[in-house]
Chain A
Amino acid sequence: MGQTRRSFIHNAGIGLLTFCVDGCDVDLSPREARARGADFGVLSANEVVSIDALGEILVPGSTVAGLAHFIDHQLGTTVDQQLLMIKYLGINPPFLPFYRGALAALEAGATTRHGASFAELDADAKAAFVAEIAKANPQGWEGPAAPFFHFVLRADAVDVVYGTKDGIERLGLPYMAHIEPPSRWGG
């Protein structure tokens, strides 16, 4: 019997990516990578904090779903292997400067306005700032277009929260990729 759909779907959803934990490479989902404290390969600690804070406002649950680990892992892969939606949004690779520039602009804006990092802002201040970047570049914003960054990070967060097998099933929908045909065509 040829390879069945189940046999190559069992890791789907976001599935398993290779992360480094305690010096060893292990295959984990982004959610598991976060839970196990996997190392970040590309993003700085401050950038991770910013992504978690902004992602959680955009799509609740994205932090524990491993948003920062997902982005970090993908930014460290080759373009033809990348799974980030930004790849088909009109931006040519590499994508790290986009994320890095936008996160820096976010933090600069928070610091200028409130004298604190974005993650340290209270809920109302965060919400107001996010509402602003959704519409236009805030005054003094120096980086990729703020509304586009809002769109991209929201898309990434949607991926990890609603695009996984668990996420789809939490919406009450069957994932269905586990339906097994008798065999692949041509056997």
Chain B
Amino acid sequence: MALPGQVDAIVIGSGAAGSAMAAKLSAGGKQVVILEAGPERDASSLISSGIWARRLKWGGDPVIEAGSNPVGHVFNAGFGVGGSAMHHFAVWPRLHEEDFRSQSLYGEGVDWPIGYADLRHWYDRVQTEVGISGDAEKEVWRPPGAAYPMPGVPVYPQGRIIAGGFEKLGMQTAPLPLAITSTEYSGRPACLWDGWCDAGCPIGALANPLTVHLPIARANGAVLQAASAVTKILTNDSGDLATGVEYATANGESNQLRADVVVLAAFAIQNPRLLLASATDKHAHGLANSSGLVGKTIMSHPAALVYGLFEEETRCYMGATGGQFVNQDGYAKDTHSESGAFGSYQWMIAQAMKPNDLLGIAMTRPDLIGADLQGFMQRSAKHFASMTAVIEDLPVADNAVTLADQLDTNGVPLAKVTHTTHEKSKALWGAVLEEGKEVFAAAGASEIWTGPQEAMHIMGGTIMGDDPSTSVTNSYGQCHDIGNLVIAGPGLFPSSGGVNPTFTLHALTARAADHLLERWGSMTA
């Protein structure tokens, strides 16, 4: 299908943020084209296999990783229609009030230009639209907001056993808030709890872009063109307005598309890459980069992984990949200050596990081979349990996306991303691991071990703020330098908090889309 030469809005990227933005703008009457660099996906792409699911991971231009704690780009990013949200675990907690004011309250991190009160309405609205299962009353740590529209996820032995450990230590648990259907919801069937979430959910129980927002966008006339890699964002002669994009199709053909508004929603690494690579004489250091902060402050939650074996059968293959319960007793950012640590964290308890893949049972003990591995697998298959803590990653300006010397096939410099975890975040990771081992011991584990620090989620790189000298965009994602160039996604986060980012990026996107539609004319003048 040939694209028109001019549309109201171009959305670059079809992941969580891009598809949500496209749905909102098209529903608001705007003519929208979504350009997706990767391949088309449909439900038949979502094969329940830890091996086949790797096709959902990043498969585009290589990203060069550096630093002591790489962000794990290929593992955390996605490729193709739906982006990384196609393999996300759908754990959707809210940020807490203190996450927005960390610098003001504690003298650490970076404040957001908005507070929880500004997002509460949007969290509630998205929650109804997308559908979240949980128990708001049992989440005693949860900031105020509407109750979840669906009851909490079912509990399997793994969850019950570990929750017992928390209880023995005087700690609390609540059903993990998941954007997965625990009951039929808006025409989507209830989840089967077969533990294949990260392989993509083909039945529509998990709220990925194919299930929720892309159908809305398409129904409202939005056009999604896959295998179309944007190579440059175009601006007018004076450099104060975006005018469209150049993009390359799979056969290498270069095209241009014009629009009143350009939305950059290609995730936290490719967004700054494209801004930096679109430099002009008016923007010599990259678009929207008068602050010099494009690409800066990349963050990735360090994951604290705790494993154990129990005498009782855990049925660890059942449930959701994200887990069954949540604990946020340690969310106050100074909980482990005696260890030199700072930041918030939460436990995701009782993840559904399969035998293989990076997060699979066999890979939790990479030291075992031969008969030892065979014995371990036989013991673990029915008695394994795990939980993972999401650890706040304090923002560090030098953790950044820059342009590499190497070019892709279209002549665009590759992204290089450098990340080394802040010492206080590392200290928190260590302290939280110890807590996790205590919980498993209290739960009666016969064996307990932990995993290395792994990178989970990618945020920052185009942070929002009120001051154009210390941020790239305003709180709606509009670039300070180019008002009709809008950034959407977790790249806007000035700080990471200690929870999974997808719910928050959806709330931000809904808020931004509403704002854009209200001010469309003035924004593009």
The residue that A88 contacts in the complex, of B75, B202, B373, B377, with Cβ under 8 A, is: B75
Given contacts A8-B47, A171-B377, contact A158 B362 (CB under 8 A): yes
Stretch at the interface among A11-19, A44-52, A102-110: A11-19
A116 contacts the other chain (Cβ, under 8 Å)?
no
A38 to B51, CA, bound (A): 21
Cβ–Cβ contact A14 & B51, under 8 A: yes
Number of B residues contacting the other chain (C-beta, 8 Å)?
Answer: 58
Cβ–Cβ contact B47 & A173, under 8 A: no
What is the distance, in angstroms, from A132's C-beta to the closest C-beta of chain B? 13
A154 to B75, CA, bound (A): 18
Cβ–Cβ contact B48 & A186, under 8 A: no
Cβ–Cβ contact A12 & B48, under 8 A: yes
On chain B, the residues within 8 Å of A82 by CB distance are 54-55, 59
A185 to B185, CA, bound (A): 11
Cβ–Cβ contact A85 & B370, under 8 A: no
A97 to B460, CA, bound (A): 34
A167 to B381, CA, bound (A): 11
Interface residues of B in 22-73 (CB under 8 A from A): 38-39, 43-44, 47-52, 54-55, 57-60, 62-65, 70, 72
A15 to B366, CA, bound (A): 25
What is the distance, in angstroms, from B158's C-beta to the closest C-beta of chain A? 13
On chain A, the residues within 8 Å of B189 by CB distance are 181-182, 185
B 312-329 to A, binary, CB cutoff 8 A, 1 in contact else 0: 000001000000000000
The residue that B51 contacts in the complex, of A57, A81, A83, A184, with Cβ under 8 A, is: A83
A5 contacts the other chain (Cβ, under 8 Å)?
yes
Given contacts A80-B60, A88-B54, contact A58 B44 (CB under 8 A): no
Given contacts A88-B57, A154-B366, A158-B363, contact A179 B51 (CB under 8 A): no
What is the distance, in angstroms, from A65's C-beta to the closest C-beta of chain B? 12
A181 to B203, CA, bound (A): 7
The residue that B370 contacts in the complex, of A57, A79, A164, with Cβ under 8 A, is: A57
What is the distance, in angstroms, from A42's C-beta to the closest C-beta of chain B? 19
On chain A, the residues within 8 Å of B59 by CB distance are 79-82, 87
Cβ–Cβ contact B79 & A80, under 8 A: yes
On chain B, the residues within 8 Å of A59 by CB distance are 369-370, 373
Cβ–Cβ contact A92 & B54, under 8 A: no
A107 to B51, CA, bound (A): 29
Interface centre among B52, B65, B378 (most CB of A within 10 A): B52
On chain B, the residues within 8 Å of A171 by CB distance are 355, 377-378, 381
Cβ–Cβ contact A163 & B51, under 8 A: yes
A111 contacts the other chain (Cβ, under 8 Å)?
no
A155 contacts the other chain (Cβ, under 8 Å)?
yes
A85 to B55, CA, bound (A): 10
Cβ–Cβ contact B49 & A14, under 8 A: yes
Given contacts A8-B44, A12-B49, A177-B194, contact A167 B355 (CB under 8 A): yes
User: Which partner residue on chain B sits nearest A59 by CB separation?
Assistant: B373
B291 contacts the other chain (Cβ, under 8 Å)?
no
Given contacts A88-B358, A168-B355, A176-B317, contact A15 B55 (CB under 8 A): no
Cβ–Cβ contact A9 & B47, under 8 A: yes
Cβ–Cβ contact A92 & B62, under 8 A: yes
A159 contacts the other chain (Cβ, under 8 Å)?
yes
A90 contacts the other chain (Cβ, under 8 Å)?
yes
Cβ–Cβ contact A173 & B381, under 8 A: yes
A 155-173 to B, binary, CB cutoff 8 A, 1 in contact else 0: 1001100111001100111
Cβ–Cβ contact A177 & B55, under 8 A: no
B421 contacts the other chain (Cβ, under 8 Å)?
no
B280 contacts the other chain (Cβ, under 8 Å)?
no
**A/B interface sample: 8 pairs, CB < 8 A:** A14-B49, A58-B373, A80-B38, A92-B62, A171-B381, A176-B194, A179-B194, A181-B203
Binding site for A on B (CB under 8 A): 38-39, 43-44, 47-52, 54-55, 57-60, 62-65, 70, 72, 74-75, 79-80, 187-189, 192, 194-196, 202-204, 211, 215, 317, 354-358, 360, 362-363, 366-367, 369-371, 373-374, 377-378, 381-382
Q: Knowing that A13-B51, A15-B49, A88-B358 touch, tell me 4 more A-B residue pairs with CB under 8 angstroms.
A: A80-B80, A87-B59, A177-B49, A181-B203
- The 7 lowest CB-CB distance pairs between A and B, nearest first, are A185-B204, A80-B59, A163-B356, A177-B48, A88-B75, A88-B74, A171-B381
